Structure 1
Amino acid sequence: MQEVSHATELEYAFLFTLRKVNSLNLQGFELFFQNLPLDPYIKGKYRFRRLSRIMVAEERLIKLPHGHLCQRREYNPLLGDIKREFAELEDEMIELDIFKSLVLAFIDTCKLHPEAEIGVHQIRTICSPGHSGNPAPEGIHQDGTDFIGIFSVNRENIQGGETHLYTAKKEKPVFNKILQPGELVVVNDHQFFHFTSPIKSEIPAPGARDVFVLTSPSLMTDLEMM
């Protein structure tokens, strides 16, 4: 793994940050990642996904109306300008204290307004012997939002899946790290491009990478506005 020099860490400290979200029993998320629908918008059956937009009101998480996700092609050359619709996060998971703690950690790190709209993507990428999984098939990119948080929930029988941050697409990464379960990296999307390398099985058996990706704003629009 390429480490960031001390000077570079200081220079970019206010633009991205890596933190450990403590006191989360990550096993509480396990069943919800086993029940993810297949992402129908990419080729191959290796990525599974749900998406909701939420906000905090009176210390409670409120799920906002169902909508579609749309990014401009300049940000997502693979799926830009395509209206994508995903199944909502399960209500039982949103009610978990560990999920609320994760969302609040993201809000606190970004110093967001208490009523900011947050998009939460629940994503599982799988691989198997001879078949890799690609967490970022669009390549090095930005999302077209203000802040992005990538939270690692689980890594099972995989190698790869390294998160990279770049100041420009053709430059070397200023940060690259395999996020371990419980680690959250939060990024200013206006300042950095990001990418996650493909995963492959560590031993000859299926493998999986489970993450939450949080964004503010959510990049979602009500379905009735389609």
Structure 2
Amino acid sequence: MSEQTFSATLAGHIIQSMEVPLLQNGFAFLQAEAMQSVLESYGLLGWDTFAASWNELGVDRYMADGGRYRRRRYATFSLTEGESTRKPHQPHYQSRDYNTLNGGIERWFKPVLPTIGEHPALMAILRLAYRVATDMTPPERRPNAWHTEIHQFRIEARPDTEGCPTPEGLHRDGVDWVFVVMIRRENVARGETSIHDLGHTQVGSFTLTNPMDTAVVNDNRVYHGVTPVHPVDPNKPAYRDVLVVTLRHE
């Protein structure tokens, strides 16, 4: 067996092991080592330059709580088999049914930089997202293309201000699938993800800790939320960087 064939076979087994709990429970947690193996089979390169782009995000000025602890960039894509096509820049919109804090308005964020929008690391993540969403969607409900939104988030924490990854609280996003990929944690404590069923009973929890730790959520079946983060050393910068990728029917 060639190295390439072995890599693809291993990736297939890992994806299947992730899809089982996703089918049973509506969510899955994939640790960094396994996620890296899968992404490498999909063409992962240059993770360090990809992660460094989180240093170039803009302040989110749409926070209804008045906070200035969140930085982000945003882009949209159309995903089809074998192709990821970036769409013209557009606003992000969620109804207040899904986001009671910041929903109900068009929010124009800085676009994802062109070099990051076509970066091999992002392309690998999008290929994986397409694979999982397609695998997990019954054939009769699979769209011709997935409308895909890309969010680069940095949540900053200060001694006098906690950083809230999900300031809207426990929520759903109004999409079909949500992928959350840890990019970096720097000098922060907490940030635990909890998963709740549609009756709001907690059904799971975990913490994205290492770069490439990944959560996958069936947004039609569960709610998710993340606890605030706090600085470990109050004299040093503290932040939590993640990539959020959502997919819904076009």
- Same fold, TM-score > 0.5, yes or no: yes
Deviations 1:90-123 (A, max 9, x none): 1101222111111111111222657322111111
Q: Is the 8 A contact 1:26 1:153 kept in 2?
A: no
| Aligned match for 2:48, one of 13, 22, 27 | 27
Structure 1 pair 130–187 and aligned structure 2 pair: CA distance change class (3 A): same
Instruction: Tell me the equivalent position of 1:16.
Output: 27
* Aligned counterparts of 2:88 and 2:62: Cα–Cα separation in 1: 22
Structure 1 pair 60–136 and aligned structure 2 pair: CA distance change class (3 A): same
Q: TM-score, normalised by structure 1?
A: 0.84
Number of residues of Structure 1 aligned to a counterpart in Structure 2? 210
Corresponding position: 1:120 with 2:150: yes
Instruction: Tell me the equivalent position of 2:176.
Output: 146
Q: Post-superposition shift, 1:70?
A: 1.6
Q: Is there any run of 5+ residues in structure 1 with no aligned partner, and where?
A: 1-8, 220-226
Structure 1 pair 114–159 and aligned structure 2 pair: CA distance change class (3 A): farther
Q: Using CA pairs below 8 Å that are at least 6 residues apart, which structure has the higher relative contact order?
A: 1
* Aligned counterparts of 1:92 and 1:218: Cα–Cα separation in 2: 26
Q: Is the 8 A contact 1:119 1:218 kept in 2?
A: no
* Aligned counterparts of 2:99 and 2:160: Cα–Cα separation in 1: 27
Q: Post-superposition shift, 1:162?
A: 1.1
| Aligned match for 2:205, one of 159, 176, 182 | 176
Instruction: Tell me the equivalent position of 2:245.
Output: 214
| Aligned match for 2:225, one of 159, 173, 195 | 195
Q: Is the 8 A contact 1:49 1:121 kept in 2?
A: yes
Matched to 1:15, the amino acid is G
Structure 1 pair 153–218 and aligned structure 2 pair: CA distance change class (3 A): farther
Deviates more, 1:53-62 or 1:81-90: 53-62
SS at match of 1:13: helix
* Aligned counterparts of 1:56 and 1:21: Cα–Cα separation in 2: 20
Matched to 1:198, the amino acid is P
* Aligned counterparts of 1:71 and 1:133: Cα–Cα separation in 2: 21
Q: Post-superposition shift, 1:59?
A: 3.7
Q: How does 1:16-165 map to 2 (within 5 A)?
A: 16-19=27-30, 20-22=34-36, 23=40, 24=44, 26-42=47-63, 43-56=66-79, 59-111=82-134, 115-165=145-195
Q: Post-superposition shift, 1:200?
A: 0.5
Q: Name the structure with the higher helix share.
A: 2
Deviations 1:120-164 (A, max 9, x none): 111110112232100111011111111111111111111111111
Deviations 1:57-95 (A, max 9, x none): 674532101211221111111112111111111110122
Q: Percent identity?
A: 28
SS at match of 2:244: strand
* Aligned counterparts of 1:122 and 1:218: Cα–Cα separation in 2: 21
* Aligned counterparts of 1:169 and 1:48: Cα–Cα separation in 2: 32
Q: Is the 8 A contact 1:164 1:194 kept in 2?
A: yes
* Aligned counterparts of 1:137 and 1:62: Cα–Cα separation in 2: 31
